[in-house]
């Protein structure tokens, strides 16, 4: 069975993962949304990410040493730390934790990962990397956690390309915090 390639991130109603000022504080999850993310990461076998997301997520490599984390945050850290990660960067020369720098291009890395034995999705994090994967037709599912905010610009969740992609809605969920999860499968 070929592992699915998924792209999942928080997004504003107007389609951005980060606002024009670089802020994404509006994506901080409440308890139920955070629990959802914990459950989702359990289905991931490897996480591909760009430098910016990698640097943001580095926090979780040592977060479990902090005494201020609650049980859910400790659970997330326990799942995140051992998860294999592949980092795509032209500027980093080394990475920490259970991560490695990509040795090839995105298509080659995904092809190699799909050929290897393993379970769980191949998750892509970060809009730049996802845009490249989308342009190559490599994404099987788009998973958007839509937050009730308009940010007016920034980094878009969906790539801005001239290519049409038909999607099938396979799951929705509305949280009490007014956040809506949308999961779409690419129609091939």
Predicted confidence at residue 160, as pLDDT, reads 76
pLDDT for 103 equals 85
Whether the per-residue pLDDT at 116 is higher than 90: the answer is: no
List the one residue out of 172, 171, 154, 164 whose CA is nearest residue 188: 164
Three-class SS of residue 35?
A: helix
**Quick one: what percent of the chain has pLDDT higher than 90?**
81
Q: Determine the average pLDDT of the residues in 132-146.
A: 95
**Model pLDDT, residue 69:** 87
In this structure, what is the dihedral angle of CA atoms 130, 136, 142, 144, given to the nearest 10 degrees? 30
Domains detected in the chain: 5-186 (3.40.430.10)
Confidence of residue 65 (pLDDT cuts 50, 70, 90): confident
> What's the chain's average pLDDT?
93
**Which one has a higher pLDDT value, 103 or 139?**
139
73 pLDDT band (50/70/90 cuts)? very high
Q: What is the pLDDT of residue 118?
A: 85
Quick check: helix, strand or coil at residue 69? Answer: coil
pLDDT (mean) for 107-131? 92
29 CB contacts (<8 Å, ≥6 apart)? 10, 36, 37, 145, 179
Asked if residue 32 has pLDDT above 90, the reply is yes
């Amino acid at each position: 069975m070929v592992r699915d390639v998924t792209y999942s991130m928080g997004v504003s109603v107007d389609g951005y993962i980060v606002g024009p000022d670089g802020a994404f504080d509006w994506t901080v999850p409440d308890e139920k949304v955070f629990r959802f993310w914990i459950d989702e990461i359990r289905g991931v076998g490897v996480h591909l990410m760009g430098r910016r997301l990698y640097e943001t997520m580095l926090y979780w490599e040592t977060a479990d040493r902090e005494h201020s984390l609650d049980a859910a945050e400790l659970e997330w850290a326990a799942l995140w730390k051992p998860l294999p990660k592949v980092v795509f960067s032209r500027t980093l020369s080394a990475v920490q934790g259970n991560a490695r720098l990509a040795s090839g291009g995105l298509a080659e890395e995904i092809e190699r990962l799909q050929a290897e034995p393993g379970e769980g999705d191949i998750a892509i994090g970060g809009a730049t990397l996802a845009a490249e994967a989308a342009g190559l037709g490599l994404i099987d599912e788009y998973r958007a956690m839509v937050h009730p905010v308009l940010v007016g610009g920034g980094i878009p969740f969906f790539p801005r390309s001239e290519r049409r992609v038909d999607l099938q809605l396979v799951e929705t969920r509305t949280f009490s915090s007014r956040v809506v999860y949308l999961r779409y499968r690419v129609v091939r």
